Amino acid sequence: MYKHFIWIFLFAISVGCKKTPTDPVVNFPVHVAYVVSGGSRTVEVIDLDSMKVYNSFSISSNAERFPHHIYLSKDKKMLAVANPAYDFSLGHSGLHGKQIPGGVIVLDAVTGKVLKDFEVPFANHNALFSSDGSEIWTTGLSHSGRAYIYDFNSTSLVKEIILDADPSEIIFSKNGTYAAVASGESTFLQVIDQNKKEIEKKIKVDLSPSNVWEGYGNIVLVSNSLKKSVNFVDLSTFQVTDFIDFDFVPGFLTYNELTQELWVCNGDEGKLRVFKQQPEWTEINSFDFNGKDPHMVRFYDSDSKALLVNQKSNTAVFIDVLEKQIIKEIMVGIKPNGIDL
């Protein structure tokens, strides 16, 4: 009788320890991209190998919120999403003179579980994890411009940094030394020392810079809607090293280190444009999306492929960078506006 009981007990333990076939850790794709869709308030998990939507995470049921831009933590285990009560697809000007709240939502990158959900005083463009994951950095787009630094665990405010009016995207330098943010009502790129949490330098760029984006090495890219230009800014010397004047308003732009090309979203004309220095910056290619509003593009597979989101067609597009050919287009959520991978 005693031996029979022991056998049943051991069998029960062995069954209980087995993982079910639906365990998300087992089935989760190896190579994924995350697309945040402001209109549907969702994050689509895209399997980059099969080029299909693997899963969709619901961020919020609050119809007053429009999630905007998404960033992974350094260990790729969590996602930070800006969650403002404003639809940034309408442009920044709708926020002038208004106090519209922002927010931050942190998700588990595998399960989509909401880990943190807290308010920010003003509508925010994006939110970032600090390098060690202990803090969340974001900004408030208002005439009383601010950068906000929150403790990750408690979500309490650690530091508030005064910026020029209407700060938008905030990014970190690749070496982890600085944060950089452009303010639309100024003519400066503001560089913040991450350790001191103080402004280290204000760098003169074109008037009314709309955003700053990650470039290459120590270079960041400042896009300017009013001047229709981009400034290349070296954060090691605090100098503008190059520029391009366009005949269109640039949106998101990014540099491909494999091909040494600058890819620029031209949402107003529904185009994705490609520039190369030879020796002057010259447009060498473009993709026409017929009013679909190309909004953001990210490179993967050692920069040989690109993933683009079209905000007005609710699609993600896979592109062969070397051949300059569209591979596939798939449906995602409503008004996709951000990607990280």
Terminal Cα distance for the chain, rounded: 57
14 vs 193: which has the higher pLDDT:
193
Q: What's this model's pTM, rounded to 2 decimal places?
A: 0.90
Q: Determine the average pLDDT of the residues in 163-190.
A: 94
Q: Domains along the chain?
A: 59-158 (2.120.10.30), 163-245 (2.40.10.480)
Contact 141, 122 (CB under 8 A): yes
When pLDDT is cut at 50, 70 and 90, the band that residue 97 belongs to is low
**How confident is the model over 240-256, as a mean pLDDT?**
97
Whether the CB-CB separation of 237 and 203 falls below 8 Å is answered with no
Which DSSP category does 314 fall into? T
Q: What one-letter code names the amino acid at 198?
A: E
- Residues 6+ positions from 18 with CB-CB distance below 8 Å: none
* Of 341, 335, 340, residue with least CA distance to 88: 335
Provide the pLDDT confidence category of residue 229 given band limits of 50, 70 and 90.
Answer: very high
Q: What is the pLDDT of residues 45-70, one digit of tens each?
A: 999 999 999 999 999 878 899 999 99
């492929």: which residue's tokens? 305
Average pLDDT over residues 161-190: 94
With vertex at residue 87, the alpha carbon angle to CA 204 and CA 160, rounded to the nearest 5 degrees, is: 50
Cβ count near 97 (within 10 Å) = 7
Residue 10 has pLDDT above 70, yes or no: no
Contacts of 180 (CB under 8 A, 6+ apart): 170, 171, 172, 173, 189, 190, 191, 192, 212, 220, 233, 235
**Which contiguous run of DSSP H or E holds residue 16?**
helix 2-17
